[in-house]
Structure 1
Amino acid sequence: MGERTTQSTRAGLGPRGRLTQARLRLRYWFDTTMARGTPALIGWLTLVCLAIVIPASAALVWADTNTPTTLTNQLVAIWKSIGRTFGLGGAVGTPAYVALSVLLALVALFFASTLVGLITAGVNRKIMSLRRGRSLVLEERHTVVLGWSDQVFPIVAELVEANANQRRAAVAILADRDKAAMEDDLHVRVPDRRTTRVICRTGSTTDPAVIGRVNPGTARSVVVVSPADEEPDAADAQVIRTLLAVNGNQAFDERTHVVAAVRDTRNHRAAVLAAGPTGRVLDIDQVTARLIVQTSRQPGLSLVYADLLNFAGDEFYMTAEPGLYGKTFGEALLAYATASVVGIVRADGTVAVNPPMDARLAEGDEIITIAADDDTTILADEPLVVDESAMADAKPRVPVAERILLLGWNRRAPMIIEQLDRYVAAGSSLDVVARQDSATEAVDAFGRLEHLKVTHQRGETDRPGTLAALDVGAYDCVIVLGYDDERAAEQGDADFTTLVTLLHLRDLESTLGRDIPVVTEMTDEQNRALAPLSEGTDFIVSGKMISLLMTQIAQNQRLVALFQELGNAQGSEVYMRPAGDYVVTGRDTTFATVVASAGRQNQCAIGYRLHDRSGMAPDYGLVLNPDKREPLRLGPQDTVIVLAK
């Protein structure tokens, strides 16, 4: 029945339908033949070549002006043309002689083509191996970066700046990611490498044998990057495994210091143990909380820290200066014209930031300075001029209770509240507005605070009605935190609610007719560029700040003690104080006079900020480490940046 139906169907087809059916069957037969493998492919290739070469050779012979007259000679000429085309020689003679000649030519052709194929395959394998990033790095005194996230780009950019005065520098990156993809991303985000070569390798950062590809044994430092697309616990687990793998690598030199960072404070101790004695592990939550607290009490302080941690500006250096041995720290303050003295590294390695002015430098001590580069820390040729008549005394201030508003909630919020309690005066209050019930539970647990009274109300911080009902203008400072709950994870952007909240705060500023001091925490530097700006807004981009801090420590491990001192509420910290506390405002003077006046108050002056330029990019009026000899006139609203207890 089926056969009769098929035959009747064929009979009903027209000429065009039968032609289409024939084409389909021919195509099916060809595909079936090709599926038989290499022999079928060689056969088809031979047939196609013969179908082209034989007619073309015949046409060449017959078109020649010297065409043989007899058919036999014409066939011989055609055979010679075919032989030259296929490299068979075209030998003429007895059939056995021709057959043996063809056989030898085919054998030679087979071996030649096989050799070319083997060489091509070997070269391709080598190229693919190199493209996969699995070859060994033979650099020395280079920086190794393990892992991949957005932190890699500022780290590489800062290393390029730090190595600008070196002829040959290298950064080797190992990550479980395609080598070409890493190179493409780096080319877009860090196009100018100057004198630094960036080498990418592919592999697992938790395998000690694979880590050997980037040669950590001869590296200057190893930086372990936290994965960005994972939860804090999972990301910290990856960092800890990588640290264990680094120490498990047989070629690793203990003189090479390791720098890493964990997101969750609970994982910090385990990471420190995994890093070993030469490792330094930063607690991202703690560092971010300190920055937010200090900046909330001193608007503009985030700019100072960003400049100090950025190799493109002025940064910390430690320099041995035998010419200052036996002199006091107060005398050292005015020993440099283009560097700001801030502390001493004792011969035993202890760091003293802003020590007593009568502390003397001994042999083996080093001076801690803020300078544009290590080669600019040079003693002044002649004593700096100080105008004592332009000096002023600081006016006594009575601590005043503050009102602070905290919008949003995440795991760092309790740390921020604890840090705030150490700084504010007694009777200060903190009002928390967040959508989580966990915020209420955390606030209820803060009965032990000494100076700060904390209250909480539930509300959506990105709703204009919520903010309008808060009387935002009555607060001394507003802190905006991003959420890290399930809802924020579903949105896929932790900064989205923060951006919307900032829009509403900016609208309230226009209604109030004045700026609202706002400190905002963000996770993505690109969102920082989208945020609505105002002169009173400070941005703490936690990922970038941590990247800058890690790069500084990677270049100089001894900076760890310095940064710990700056982040300690009981130590010396960066403050922005009124210019009138140091010099007579509105009068021409020099920064040397400001430094001398600050020294009398047991402080180290490192710069100033001009109020009239505080809203102007890119420096927003901030001047760090100015030349102490240049003329300077500070106004009553300008501030001096100092290190003080």
Structure 2
Amino acid sequence: MVIMTTVEPENLEDPSRVLQDTSSLWPMRTVAALLGVKRTIVKIEGTNRHDLNGKFAHVQAYDPVKGRYSAILLDNTEDEIIYLPPTSIKQINILDATWFAISYAWQAQSLDKLYIILIVLLAISWRKQDIIIHRMSEIVTVTVLLLGVSFIGRFLLSEYNLVKEKAESMVGTRNPISTVEMIEYRVEHYFSTSQWAKVALLLTFTFILISMGAVALAFCGDDSISGAVWLAWTFVADPGTHADAPEGFLVRFVSFSITVGGMLIFALMIGIISDYIGNKIDELKKGKSRVIESDHSVMLGWTDKSIAIIQQISLANESEGGGTIVVLADAPKEDLEEHLASAMSQERGSALELMGTNVVFRSGNPLEESELQRVSVLTARSVIVLSPESLSPDEADANQVRQVMALKALDGVNGNECPPVVVEVQDVDNSELFTLVAPDFAEVIVAHDLIGRFMLECARYPGLACVLESMMGFEGSEFYFEEWPELKGKSFLDITCRFDDAVPIGIKSNSGKVFINPKNDHIIQEGDKILVLAEDNDTYEVNDGSYETNKKIESPPAAEDAKQVEKIMFLGWRRDMADLITQLDGYVAKGSELWLFNTVPVEERNELLKDQGHKSELKLDNLLVYNVVGNPLIRRDLSRIVSVDHDGETVSLDEVDSILILADSVSIENGATVMSCDSRSLSTLLIIQDIQKRLYDEKKEALGSSTSIKPVSPITEILDSRTRSLLDVVSCGSAYVMSNQIISSVIAQVSEDRDINAVLRELLTAEGSETYIRSVSKFVDLKKEDKMSFWDIALKARQHREVAIGYKPAGLGFREASLLIINPPDKSLDRQWAPGDEIITFALD
């Protein structure tokens, strides 16, 4: 260890006395105590040996015989003693002391001895005749500078040793690297692994510039360390400040250099801030931030049904002033927002209307629990899980099982229960998987199965599509459960006329079981809820019961409606065709015929119906299946329909009772879009209508108008809601089924109340109550009476154990009578009933 001091020539005779004298001053006494050094440092100049001039040495002793001082060079590792005349020893000034401190620290390769720099700074302050203990600002300034230099120096020294070590380890290899390349690699490492690397670099450059500038200003001017630091900061922060620098070339040069460095630092700072703000905006655009919401609806995934679901939930939220829908999908947030904006910018009537509902998009993988927590799924009102369309049915359903398990894993986290979950499934055979992994946790909606049942009912009863579609969405009247204590002890017949703005259709018992169209004597118990069809959950209430329900109401005797043998034709192929045929077999009379017209070869059909061996042969009790191979887009194939079995039996389009045009799954599997599938369906519809018209005209001409019967209108499955406006062009009327729209409406309704799933399941199956369109003559003898209220019709319907939910006047189509077919107004007022009026009911058969 060494100590730097100023050596006066008259004191060189006794170096020990030099230490003693200098140690009498309190700063040197402190330093001596810290270092334990008893040597004096001097600078050599003016000797004949030029290799010694400018070097530092510490004096050992004075030889009076030789008249010289014995000394050892500081950079001499062998401790070789040299002898110096008194004239070659120079007094150390501040610059010498600073240079020595830096040289010593570098040679030692250790920054633990930075108190050497402290001594230099103390010496500078001593030179300015400021006692540090009386200048707290000096202490604070020096402390901050020391901490900064220590931290930066340690980091740079560790990085230097690491770079040097790695560079040396690569020497002699086939791919040696230079030190510069290694430094670039380390810089890249920090910039790619730390988001604060740019900020740290900026602060480091700023600190170094201010520190070096302050030291230079202190040397060149009359400022103390704290004053020089503040002056250097003003030069960095305000480029115009250097114009007021003191006179003197050296001071102004230093001021100018600091100012130029400050301009570069502020340019770097602006670039870093700009990058940071840009990155934050990009993160927001990508949907990576957390959603802070509660009582909102969460939709996991994005499909063709998403827009329709958003529309239905917006309708449900309208009465509450709007709500929030959060969509989490594995797609870019910008693309999702573009889809939403496109749907909202369509023509009036088909445009998406949010009605105060806010839609928030987030991009991420819904299968990850962290992503689910990011959209606040535990504080949501409901969760909708959409089936991915890009996967095969089995793979998609497996994906849905994992999704439900991920949601189940969050159930109970932080004391929060997972909200009701609605899962869309593609294959009915996979629905049992969700009961195995999470019983009573999620409501399963099998899209294909539901649409299949829906289309079967619509095909057999023209006009039923409008009725069912009205019940499925939130645009008209929908299903609601509510407990009414004032109706406790009443029978279901007694409450038939107790709601002015709703139609009671069933009861949910306090045990959770739902009864649709119960018996008249079914008594409402405490805790039971009444199932009604109403416009909204706050638009109806119980009336005073003044309408007389026990008055004598006669109804024509019930006639046995024997099932008639039917001929039904399916054009196109569905993946769940086997389930569709099985459902149809439960509806029709024995001996009915089903004609399958599509492009799939018969041998392949049999394999598809057995699901490649996973299902058994179809066992049909009532249906006879006729297979026809043809293309529904080719007029020739539709003009002459010949079965490939049953001895080549034929049928014409005017002879069938129901025609169902299916969205062909074969085309979809081959890459067809929903719009192209709709185009195929519309083309098929036009060809069929033209052929039917020609056949009708021919029979009318041959047999006369009295015996000719107009052929049935085909029921067309439509996938894209934008196709609806084209249906009026082809005079389709009400003979179409918006399959995606219906599924979306069902999903939205079940998400609001999971018990609705049980209601729809019963209404769309052959078991239990179904929807029927009855002639008014079934309930009213128009020859005896033709003026009564809708409630009178409803009471007459109860005598047949049917629930009347609405009616259609004879002169109106179903779409024109949309306000009457479900939950009509003015139920207590009498109206004139006429032949052709129809009553819509729920009945067992």
> 1:14-413 residue pairs with structure 2 within 5 A?
87=240, 89-91=242-244, 93-167=247-321, 169-190=323-344, 191-249=352-410, 253-274=416-437, 276-384=439-547, 391-413=555-577
For residues 220 and 487 of structure 1, do their structure 2 counterparts lie closer, same or farther at Cα, with a shift above 3 Å needed? Answer: closer
Give the alignment partner of residue 586 of structure 2, picking from 385, 408, 422.
422
Give the alignment partner of residue 629 of structure 1, picking from 804, 828, 841.
828
Max Rg structure: 2
Say which SS state the counterpart of residue 735 (structure 2) adopts: strand
Measured in 2, the distance between the counterparts of 1:476 and 1:464 equals 20
Partner of 1:462: 633
Measured in 2, the distance between the counterparts of 1:88 and 1:250 equals 63
| 1:484 maps to 2:660 | no
Asked if the contact 1:421/1:452 (under 8 Å) is kept, the reply is: yes
Measured in 2, the distance between the counterparts of 1:296 and 1:273 equals 35
Greater shift in the superposed pair: 289-298 or 528-537:
528-537
For residues 517 and 350 of structure 1, do their structure 2 counterparts lie closer, same or farther at Cα, with a shift above 3 Å needed? Answer: same
For residues 327 and 419 of structure 1, do their structure 2 counterparts lie closer, same or farther at Cα, with a shift above 3 Å needed? Answer: same
| 1:604 maps to 2:803 | yes
Give the alignment partner of residue 726 of structure 2, picking from 508, 530, 552.
530
2:354 partner letter: R
Measured in 1, the distance between the counterparts of 2:638 and 2:833 equals 37
Measured in 2, the distance between the counterparts of 1:604 and 1:517 equals 28
Shift of 1:486: 6.0
- For each residue in 1:86-129, what CA deviation from the matched residue of structure 2 results, as whole angstroms up to 9, or x when unmatched? 74654584432331221232243344444433333332222222
Partner of 1:33: none
Greater shift in the superposed pair: 461-470 or 489-498:
489-498
- For each residue in 1:258-284, what CA deviation from the matched residue of structure 2 results, as whole angstroms up to 9, or x when unmatched? 101111233323344455531111112
2:402 partner letter: R
Partner of 1:52: none
1:314 partner letter: S
Partner of 2:771: 574
Say which SS state the counterpart of residue 665 (structure 2) adopts: coil
2:262 partner letter: A
For residues 576 and 417 of structure 1, do their structure 2 counterparts lie closer, same or farther at Cα, with a shift above 3 Å needed? Answer: same
| 1:587 maps to 2:786 | yes
Greater shift in the superposed pair: 283-292 or 223-232:
223-232
Say which SS state the counterpart of residue 811 (structure 2) adopts: helix
Greater shift in the superposed pair: 405-414 or 377-386:
377-386
For residues 275 and 502 of structure 1, do their structure 2 counterparts lie closer, same or farther at Cα, with a shift above 3 Å needed? Answer: farther
Give the alignment partner of residue 553 of structure 1, picking from 739, 743, 750.
750
Asked if the contact 2:718/2:737 (under 8 Å) is kept, the reply is: yes
Number of equivalent positions? 563
2:287 partner letter: G
Shift of 1:204: 0.7
Asked if the contact 2:463/2:814 (under 8 Å) is kept, the reply is: no
2:633 partner letter: D
Shift of 1:155: 0.9
Greater shift in the superposed pair: 96-105 or 613-622:
613-622
For residues 168 and 411 of structure 1, do their structure 2 counterparts lie closer, same or farther at Cα, with a shift above 3 Å needed? Answer: closer
For residues 203 and 634 of structure 1, do their structure 2 counterparts lie closer, same or farther at Cα, with a shift above 3 Å needed? Answer: same
Measured in 2, the distance between the counterparts of 1:560 and 1:236 equals 19
- For each residue in 1:190-246, what CA deviation from the matched residue of structure 2 results, as whole angstroms up to 9, or x when unmatched? 453223221111101111111211111111111011223443334333333322322
Say which SS state the counterpart of residue 456 (structure 2) adopts: helix
Instruction: Give me the TM-score of the superposition, normalised by structure 1.
Output: 0.81
Give the alignment partner of residue 624 of structure 2, picking from 453, 473, 481.
453
Asked if the contact 1:553/1:559 (under 8 Å) is kept, the reply is: yes
Unaligned residue ranges in structure 2 (runs of 5+): 1-235, 345-351, 611-615, 642-651, 698-709
For residues 622 and 277 of structure 1, do their structure 2 counterparts lie closer, same or farther at Cα, with a shift above 3 Å needed? Answer: closer
% same residue: 27
- For each residue in 1:369-403, what CA deviation from the matched residue of structure 2 results, as whole angstroms up to 9, or x when unmatched? 00011112211245236786785444433322111
Say which SS state the counterpart of residue 330 (structure 1) adopts: coil
Measured in 2, the distance between the counterparts of 1:255 and 1:329 equals 35
Shift of 1:515: 4.8
Asked if the contact 1:611/1:621 (under 8 Å) is kept, the reply is: no
Structure with the larger RCO, 1 or 2 (CA within 8 Å, 6+ apart): 1
1:145 partner letter: M
Measured in 2, the distance between the counterparts of 1:379 and 1:615 equals 29
Asked if the contact 1:404/1:478 (under 8 Å) is kept, the reply is: yes
Greater shift in the superposed pair: 91-100 or 562-571:
91-100
Asked if the contact 2:377/2:418 (under 8 Å) is kept, the reply is: no
Asked if the contact 2:720/2:738 (under 8 Å) is kept, the reply is: yes
Asked if the contact 1:608/1:640 (under 8 Å) is kept, the reply is: yes
Asked if the contact 1:340/1:369 (under 8 Å) is kept, the reply is: yes
- For each residue in 1:523-582, what CA deviation from the matched residue of structure 2 results, as whole angstroms up to 9, or x when unmatched? 332334434644675322322211111111100112222222223322011111111112
Shift of 1:488: 5.9
Say which SS state the counterpart of residue 388 (structure 2) adopts: coil
Asked if the contact 2:686/2:730 (under 8 Å) is kept, the reply is: no
For residues 644 and 618 of structure 1, do their structure 2 counterparts lie closer, same or farther at Cα, with a shift above 3 Å needed? Answer: closer
Instruction: Give me the TM-score of the superposition, normalised by structure 2.
Output: 0.62
For residues 107 and 541 of structure 1, do their structure 2 counterparts lie closer, same or farther at Cα, with a shift above 3 Å needed? Answer: same
Measured in 1, the distance between the counterparts of 2:514 and 2:296 equals 27
Say which SS state the counterpart of residue 585 (structure 2) adopts: helix
Greater shift in the superposed pair: 320-329 or 475-484:
475-484
Say which SS state the counterpart of residue 261 (structure 1) adopts: strand
Shift of 1:607: 0.6
Measured in 2, the distance between the counterparts of 1:418 and 1:291 equals 14
For residues 619 and 460 of structure 1, do their structure 2 counterparts lie closer, same or farther at Cα, with a shift above 3 Å needed? Answer: same
Measured in 2, the distance between the counterparts of 1:308 and 1:302 equals 10
Say which SS state the counterpart of residue 332 (structure 1) adopts: coil
2:792 partner letter: T
